[in-house]
Structure 1
């Protein structure tokens, strides 16, 4: 599970790149009840989604050439510059940075060998998200990849993740990852890795990270999302021992998932 006790390798920030920030604020405000606080006149339109006064994510206009609307998962690092070298040595690429973000921290963006984009945040003044694991906040991260075996090797090399494979159904292998020295199947698990099935690959799916937002009622939140312009990719369905989940695209095309967790 995600917590705000951030350690190296764990997700510690999440942000949305969107072509229209005002429209994004209206959409996510309507779905999750978030408000938006600007980061100031020098931040280029970037700001913070908040719930009850606590930051749940960031959002800003698309800045990279050719970038598509997307949620970007950031992972904690105590040394972004050293990690950038490790990413390249492991077969990934540096999209931008490392760079300082005012006095908040140090940032870099990467692409893994299969094409999934992610980022790394080295905290200074801003440690990370202030609310996770609660209703209307991110509760899980998940990588859908064209090469699960290579992805596991890459992220273990870069972050030192512990991983364990869980067989679900007849053919699906779902890998759970956690920070180094922890038990992935325990409370420290923070990410899932799964191979894209053949039908998804044939349909043109590519490797990407998805955030999961916890909600009280998955079906009701799917309805609230579609009423505001979202598209359903995977309809709400039950996952044994996990909860009820769905995958959607927001009105701009950014993927996100919903999860109503099973009672523990």
Structure 2
């Protein structure tokens, strides 16, 4: 199987090791992974800020760059939601609507692809541990891939998933929201951290790099002793993939 891999902006700039681990998880299942060196942003920041014409240019670029029939795998619910759902809305009623719909059908968040398409089975090599999970907003409400992420966690025999009391509440990142409304964002992430602390876990996992940056940065400032880790780094570590 040949697949395209879309690394995302934050993945390329900050979470490069996570991208490598995500690719290795695909290769472990026999996939040939194609990484287009000219890939760029999915267009979500401009789209969420109301710059629709500018976002269309980015979307058309991506649809041309990743043309073909291969699945397009993304290690982020945010970018998945944008490219799978929001592209259709962006081009609705235009000459590019059908192109966007066909493109959308090829988009998968990595957990969804591993869980539903490849139906992976993992041998957990790690010690017993307790984790909790943060659902990023776009993965939860737009891409709707959270169940697959939790299925992967629960498949690890030595990992106990303890869910947050207020899991569906935003962490306050929201891309440009955290820049435009820093005080509100800080209040939101502080509430999220209280929920995480109340679970008495070793790790807080998420499959969204933006949320992880926001939560881990606030935790560090507040002196909270809970490790944050990207889902695909955690899985890679548990099954013996070395970065």
Of structures 1 and 2, the one with the larger relative CO (CA 8 A, separation 6+) is: 2
Higher helix share: 2
TM-score (norm 1): 0.29
Normalised by the size of structure 2, how large is the TM-score? 0.30
